[in-house]
Structure 1
Amino acid sequence: MALPAIALILLIAYIPMAGIILAFKDYRFNLGVFGSPWNGFENFKYFFTSGTGLLVTRNTILYNMLNLVTSQLFAIMIAIFINEMRGRYFKKISQSIIFLPFFISWTIVGVFVFNIFNYETGTLNTVLKAFNLDPVNLYSMPYVWVFIICFFNSWKWVGYTSVIYIASIVSIDSECFEAAEIDGANIFQKIFYITIPSIMPTIFIIFLLNLGRILRGDFQMFYQIVGNNGQLFDATDVIDTFVFRSLITSGDIAMPAAATFYQSVLCFVTIMVVNGIIRKTKPDNALF
């Protein structure tokens, strides 16, 4: 019964890994992947000496760390709030509304962002003009987009992630809360001394799983929100968008392959190091 799944994983995930050798070759279309000459680490050297490698690496790590912290923090808070709600129907409606953004594609979100922040006809500047204030061109202010991207990432993912935490909270033995009530604990004491410590294993597991993607930016999010606006590249360009843009502008397959290989290796090293640290300090919370 497992054979179809195993075959699918081999076909999609493992066999294409042979293409890793592109990162170490001077790729020629007429010679193909295996016929092109080797060039060692020249593609990696060009990636970093061009001045782009460190920039997109910094941006990728920064955004993923900010998105990881903000989305997980908001998800935990929302899960606790929903769990503490007493109205059954209000709880279901609230959870559904919070979960809804997960089903909205990044293409639609990109349209929302453009219509909100567009200099000429955007909602933000329309409101500012209505109050006789000067319009703001956010598309010429690169580092403001750090906050915009983090906000929309949390808005889209917080409902989905909160479901996992709600399931973890529901599984807590109700006798713990009953005993706390008998001892006179208020709602905040129950949250800080029972709820949060009980879901810590779940928090660690989700943190480690997301940490494995610390150098993988959400391509759809960045591309749909930022697009090809060159003014914002220094503050918003990540490895994934850089690779895509390199492919469609230069047609050079080898250098983007080197960037992707570098990205994958760093992701692997990061999760192994952090998991090793957690295994030393809290073995029960480690992935393996």
Structure 2
Amino acid sequence: MKKRKRLQCKDRNLGTFLLSLPTLIWYLIFCYLPMFGIVIAFKRYKPLPGKGFISSLLERSPWVGFDNFRYLFINPQMFFTVRNTIAYNLAFLFVDTVLPVTLAIMLSYVYSKKLSMAVQTAAMLPHFLSWVVVSYFLYAFLSTDRGLFNNFLINIGSDPVRWYQNPSVWPAILIITHTWKAYGYALVMYMAYITAIDQELYDSAIVDGAGVLQMIRYITLPMLRPIILVLLILNLGNILNTDFGLFYQATRNSGSILSSTQTIDVYTYKALMENANYGYSAAASLIQNTVGCFMIIIANYVAKKINPAEGII
């Protein structure tokens, strides 16, 4: 009997392993093997004609130590670049949490399931659009001569606004654009969690005389708190990373608004294109991911201290 159980367990484990094998191979090839490229951050990489990546990296690229990191820290543009990156990510963290949760709770009280599904579908559609397409949509609204907003201003007797030369308006534009494109995914996720909440909890609350706001406060939000916390912790890992398409494509790489739109990813990309130094980008990426890793560990540790049952692991 024990031998039969061992064989059944072995077969089950083998099936699970074979099922997960493609994913393991994918992560090995695309996530772990490229980590070897971290050494570029400590070298001045020079791709040579007729030489492969490994040969160019190991044989002809001199070690420069921490020079690539030093360049990032002493550059005068890094102050507002890091400031923009952190400020935008904090704003995204707040908006990406509050708005989807609020809309998900509101939709959960919509009696028409067709209407609820239609709203969720409409919210998800922007998520599948590329930033190139979104940038053209944005340009159709903000173009100086043919943009929808400027045409409206002209029709009411106001002067047109040069949106792509006015850095003060872009923080709001970028936050709204990001929210429009990203909130649908989180909305559907929160709706799934709300749907999974035991209906008997709400029925008991109604019997006890609880109102809608009380049920949201004492039932819905506490049940959503674990997934909200997990998403917040994971998003903190990207505190120094930004969506390159949003800050480069949507802004049409306008040099007049760099003080409000330049982030670390955009800055390192421009440094790579202008100086052809791959070490700058590799050094910036190493810093971003290292800080993100520590942010996740610290945030998860704090969450576990507050409530051992919550957090990632």
Aligned-pair CA distance for 1:87: 1.4
Please point out which of 270, 284, 299 is paired with 1:274: 299
Q: Which residue of 2 aligns with 1:14?
A: 32
* Larger Rg, first or second structure (1 or 2): 2
| Cα separation, partners in 2 of 1:26 and 1:93, compared to 1, 3 Å | closer
State whether structure 2 residue 28 is matched by structure 1 residue 28.
Answer: no
Amino acid at match of 2:25: A
Tell me, in whole angstroms, the C-alpha distance in 2 between the residues paired with 1:28 and 1:201. Answer: 47
Q: Residues 95 and 159 of structure 1 are in contact (CA less than 8 Å); yes or no, is this contact kept in structure 2?
A: yes
Matches within 5 A, 1:139-218: 139-218=164-243
Aligned-pair CA distance for 1:82: 0.9
Please point out which of 85, 100, 107 is paired with 2:125: 100
Please point out which of 138, 146, 149 is paired with 2:163: 138
Amino acid at match of 2:258: F
Tell me, in whole angstroms, the C-alpha distance in 1 between the residues paired with 2:186 and 2:26. Answer: 27
Aligned-pair CA distance for 1:37: 1.8
Q: Which residue of 2 aligns with 1:69?
A: 94
Aligned-pair CA distance for 1:105: 1.8
Q: Residues 119 and 136 of structure 1 are in contact (CA less than 8 Å); yes or no, is this contact kept in structure 2?
A: yes
Tell me, in whole angstroms, the C-alpha distance in 1 between the residues paired with 2:116 and 2:40. Answer: 52
Percent of residue pairs bearing the same amino acid type: 34
Aligned-pair CA distance for 1:128: 0.4
Q: Which residue of 1 aligns with 2:21?
A: 3
Deviation readout 1:124-153 (Å, 9 max, x if unpaired)? 110000001111112222131111111111
Aligned-pair CA distance for 1:52: 2.7
Of the structure 1 ranges 278-287 and 90-99, higher mean CA displacement relative to structure 2 is found in 90-99
CA RMSD of aligned residues (A): 1.4
| Cα separation, partners in 2 of 1:45 and 1:28, compared to 1, 3 Å | same
Secondary structure of the equivalent of 1:136? coil
Unmatched 5+ stretches in structure 1: none
Deviation readout 1:49-98 (Å, 9 max, x if unpaired)? 11133332221111111112102211001111111101122222222222
Secondary structure of the equivalent of 1:227? coil
Amino acid at match of 1:190: M
TM-score with structure 2 setting the length? 0.88
Matches within 5 A, 1:71-90: 71-90=96-115
Tell me, in whole angstroms, the C-alpha distance in 1 between the residues paired with 2:210 and 2:23. Answer: 50
Tell me, in whole angstroms, the C-alpha distance in 2 between the residues paired with 1:223 and 1:188. Answer: 42
Matches within 5 A, 1:241-256: 241-256=266-281
Aligned-pair CA distance for 1:7: 2.0
Length, aligned pairs only: 288
Q: Residues 68 and 283 of structure 2 are in contact (CA less than 8 Å); yes or no, is this contact kept in structure 1?
A: yes
Q: Residues 86 and 239 of structure 2 are in contact (CA less than 8 Å); yes or no, is this contact kept in structure 1?
A: yes
Aligned-pair CA distance for 1:260: 1.2
Tell me, in whole angstroms, the C-alpha distance in 1 between the residues paired with 2:105 and 2:211. Answer: 14
Tell me, in whole angstroms, the C-alpha distance in 2 between the residues paired with 1:197 and 1:44. Answer: 43
Amino acid at match of 2:223: S
